[in-house]
């Protein structure tokens, strides 16, 4: 609806809690594990994903709530109340996870003759095999520690499997009763397949925790094993490095990685049967309140049950394999045209994972082996430990190219892989820099400089996602190839800035955080608001992973109140409540959870017939706008622009299978219509599989 009045004065609006929004996102992911139409093995994977996401929440976000609780702080975003609310919601979600695992999923696997059998369910032959496995493969790696003044509680790593055991009788020194801790090495598989000869026509598995539970007596000869429980501690794992006070960031981070897994505890998981005495001991040891204790009806680490999904040998229980087609706009390359000659004809794109990442690899590969290419510059955020792209950069150095790699050492949970790549590239002569002190380099760009006649010509690649061939098969992202002189010149200036930290000149097309991007996004939103207030038809559609920046949310509220129709496609955390009467009634928020992880960032602004489209590496979050090096760039090619609008915005705004719509109270309602609804992701898979067939 277009307002014919001046914008209302913005009424005080209470934004939603970010962490509660993250937990709501996890419930939407869990829904895929609950859906009967999803293949059974994939349902288990989604359950494991929710557990992994919850782990990350406690590793990264929970510490601030805990610190406020300890300080008895009752004000602000982090407080005693926020701590209790976080655990109350998380406990509820965990209960749903285990109810699903022990109920519907276990029963569904049993119907397929697939089971994880407990000690009580094993026959004599199976028990004999398990005992031999324990004695030969497990027991030699276990060193139980009995607690006394000379043997304090051992350090246990974050998310590791451990047992706490109450012992009766006397030890070798005639001391009565004690507590022992058994640390389980991570090298041991958590799920073990029984040999086929012991399974009949079934696929039978055993859990490592079950194996250890059944043979705890073997670890304590001459002692009586009393109460015991498996337990798992989640710790705060964000590394605090004072970049202003270190001489070598890479070395400081490598040292910090050694201590990452032993930070402040934020959660303890124990078996549901854990005695009050043992749970109290654990809470005291890890200095946590009662509400941070999670009693679970099953394995304390559902994430590791993803191993079962890998071991199941029934293809029909998985998603049908999907092979992405080669990007449509890069098809001439398949027919033998040089990547560089193709880009001279105009910009190109790949919509991953519906189209393959191969075009990006081909772009870099041709640059590496082309004698006319003089220099290659690339940002590296999450490349992975086994990366074809990094191997190509190594080959480029060997072939005498000038290679500049801007490696982000602080990419959370990828620090070690990135440090290793940085050291390998430096060792063979590449120029490696680590971006700007105090800022993460999250922008994804690759620039090739080629000698053509007497000219140097630049070719660029920009992306909403990472240079990681593995995740490129799992995440939806836009890869953008260009020979646009202004865009590539901006990219060159940015690389120089990242290496030299000189003042960056005025950019012609790129919008860069932390300098311009935040301000420009707000200005664009306010411009639409001003035009809408004059009665002009205005529309804003933005697709991203998270929306938590208050300045941008304020601007969106102003725009909605001025009459701009605002549609937000936000996969994860969204703090802006939608459809509140008198406040955000012109704003709609939807979240799409599909087979692939929605990851592309697309921003669309339209007034009357004038439309602008930007792709970006950045979500609309304060950290992306002010504490990271991020990019957004305009798509000026009309054909590609319309294609992006159709495939990443329109398709998702009309998704009636995988979409959820936010309600005024911040909750989400599924828009799933099995009869008439369509899935945007499924439609794109069909479209590009046909092109590639």
Q: Helix H segments across 134-272?
A: 208-214, 216-219, 249-257
Nearest C-alpha neighbor of 97 from the set 50, 62, 38, 42: 50
CA-angle at 517, arms to 513 and 522, nearest 5°:
140
CA distance 132 to 195: 13
Which of helix, strand or coil describes residue 68?
Answer: helix
Taking the alpha carbons of 579, 645, 495, 408 in that order, is the dihedral positive or negative? Answer: positive
Nearest C-alpha neighbor of 62 from the set 95, 93, 23: 23
For residue 107, count CB atoms less than 10 angstroms from its CB and return exposed for 0-12, middle for 13-18, buried for 19 or more: exposed
CA distance 27 to 501: 43
DSSP E strand stretches across 218-354: 224-235, 265-271, 293-296, 348-352
575: CB partners within 8 A, 6+ apart: 15, 16, 17, 18, 21, 547, 548, 550, 553
Nearest C-alpha neighbor of 388 from the set 407, 419, 360, 414: 360
Is residue 456 within 8 A of residue 450, CB to CB? The reply is yes
Catalytic residue among 65, 87, 351, 442: 442
Nearest C-alpha neighbor of 376 from the set 387, 355, 390: 390
Q: How far out from the chain centre does Cα 435 lie?
A: 22
Is residue 373 within 8 A of residue 449, CB to CB? The reply is yes
Is residue 671 within 8 A of residue 660, CB to CB? The reply is yes
Does residue 261 carry a catalytic annotation? no
| Cα–Cα separations (whole angstroms), residue 622 to 464, 519, 550, 590, 680 | 18, 12, 8, 21, 29
Is residue 352 within 8 A of residue 685, CB to CB? The reply is no
Q: Helix H segments across 196-338?
A: 208-214, 216-219, 249-257, 276-285, 306-311, 331-334
Is residue 203 within 8 A of residue 113, CB to CB? The reply is yes
DSSP string for 169-199: EE-TT--EEEEEEEEPPTTS-SEEEPPGGGT
Nearest C-alpha neighbor of 424 from the set 375, 401, 390: 390
CA distance 632 to 26: 28
Residue 511 dihedral angles phi and psi, to the nearest 5°: -105, 130
Is residue 387 within 8 A of residue 681, CB to CB? The reply is no
Terminal-to-terminal C-alpha distance of the chain? 44
CA-angle at 101, arms to 95 and 102, nearest 5°:
90
CA distance 91 to 82: 14
Is residue 398 within 8 A of residue 371, CB to CB? The reply is no
| Cα–Cα separations (whole angstroms), residue 438 to 241, 414, 589, 649 | 10, 18, 33, 34
Is residue 448 within 8 A of residue 458, CB to CB? The reply is yes
At 271, list the tokens.
Answer: 């078996």
Active site residues: 442
């Amino acid at each position: 609806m277009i307002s014919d009045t001046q914008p209302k004065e913005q009424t005080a609006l209470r934004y939603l809690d970010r962490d509660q929004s993250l937990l709501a996102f996890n419930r939407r992911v869990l829904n895929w594990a609950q859906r009967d139409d999803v293949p059974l093995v994939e349902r288990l994977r989604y359950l494991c994903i929710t557990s992994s996401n919850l782990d990350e929440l406690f590793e990264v976000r929970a510490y601030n709530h805990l610190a406020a609780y300890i300080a008895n702080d009752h004000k602000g975003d982090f407080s005693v109340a926020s701590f209790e609310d976080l655990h109350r919601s998380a406990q509820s979600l965990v209960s749903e996870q285990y109810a699903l695992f022990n109920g519907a999923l276990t029963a569904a696997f049993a119907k397929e003759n697939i089971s994880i059998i407990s000690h009580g369910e094993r026959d004599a032959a199976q028990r004999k095999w398990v005992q031999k496995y324990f004695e030969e493969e497990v027991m030699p790696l276990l060193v139980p520690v009995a607690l006394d003044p000379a043997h304090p509680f051992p350090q246990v790593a974050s998310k590791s499997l451990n047992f706490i055991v109450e012992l009766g009788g006397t030890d070798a020194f005639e001391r009565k009763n004690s507590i022992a801790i058994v640390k389980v090495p991570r090298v041991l598989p958590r799920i073990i397949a029984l040999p086929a000869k012991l399974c009949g026509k079934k696929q039978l598995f055993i859990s490592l925790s079950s194996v250890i539970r059944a043979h705890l007596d073997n670890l304590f000869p001459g002692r009586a094993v009393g109460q015991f429980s498996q337990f798992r501690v989640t710790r705060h794992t964000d590394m605090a490095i004072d970049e202003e006070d270190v001489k070598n960031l890479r070395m400081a981070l490598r040292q910090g990685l050694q201590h990452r897994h032993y930070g402040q505890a934020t959660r303890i998981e124990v078996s549901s049967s854990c005695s009050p005495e043992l749970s109290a001991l654990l809470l005291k040891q890890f200095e946590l309140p009662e509400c941070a204790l999670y009693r679970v009806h099953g394995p304390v680490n559902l994430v590791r049950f993803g191993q079962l999904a890998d071991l199941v040998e029934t293809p029909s229980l998985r998603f049908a394999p999907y092979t992405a087609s080669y990007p449509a706009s890069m098809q001439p390359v398949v027919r033998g045209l040089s990547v560089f000659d193709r880009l001279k004809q105009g910009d190109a794109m790949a919509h991953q994972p519906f189209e393959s990442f191969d075009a990006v690899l081909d772009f870099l590969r041709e640059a590496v082996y082309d004698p006319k290419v003089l220099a290659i510059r690339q940002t590296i955020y999450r490349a992975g430990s086994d990366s074809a792209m990094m191997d190509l950069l190594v080959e480029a150095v060997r072939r005498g190219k000038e290679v500049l790699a801007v490696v982000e050492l602080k990419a959370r949970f990828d620090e070690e892989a990135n440090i290793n790549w940085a050291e390998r590239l430096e060792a063979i002569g590449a120029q490696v820099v680590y971006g700007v002190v105090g800022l993460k380099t999250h922008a994804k760009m690759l620039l090739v400089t080629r000698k053509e006649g007497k000219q140097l010509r630049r070719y660029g690649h920009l992306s909403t996602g990472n240079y990681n061939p593995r995740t490129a098969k799992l995440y939806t992202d836009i890869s953008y190839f260009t020979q646009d002189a202004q865009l590539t010149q901006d990219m060159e200036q940015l690389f120089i800035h990242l290496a030299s930290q000189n003042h960056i000149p005025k950019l012609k097309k790129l919008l860069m955080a932390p300098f311009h991007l935040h301000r420009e996004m707000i200005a664009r939103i306010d411009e639409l608001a001003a035009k809408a207030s004059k009665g002009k038809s205005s529309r804003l559609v933005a697709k991203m992973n998270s929306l938590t920046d208050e300045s941008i949310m304020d601007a969106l509220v102003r725009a909605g109140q001025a009459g701009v129709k605002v549609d937000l496609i936000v996969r994860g955390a969204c703090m802006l409540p939608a459809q509140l009467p008198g406040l955000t009634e012109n704003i709609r928020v939807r979240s799409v959870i599909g087979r692939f992880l929605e990851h592309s960032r697309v921003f669309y602004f339209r007034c009357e017939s004038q439309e602008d489209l930007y792709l970006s590496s950045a979500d609309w979050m304060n950290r992306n706008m002010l504490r990271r090096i991020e990019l957004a760039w305009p798509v000026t090619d009309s054909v590609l622009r319309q294609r992006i609008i159709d495939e990443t915005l329109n398709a998702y705004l009309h998704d009636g299978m995988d979409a959820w719509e936010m309600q005024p109270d911040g909750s989400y309602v599924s828009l799933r219509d099995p009869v008439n609804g369509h899935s945007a992701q499924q439609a794109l898979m069909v479209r590009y599989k046909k092109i590639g067939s």
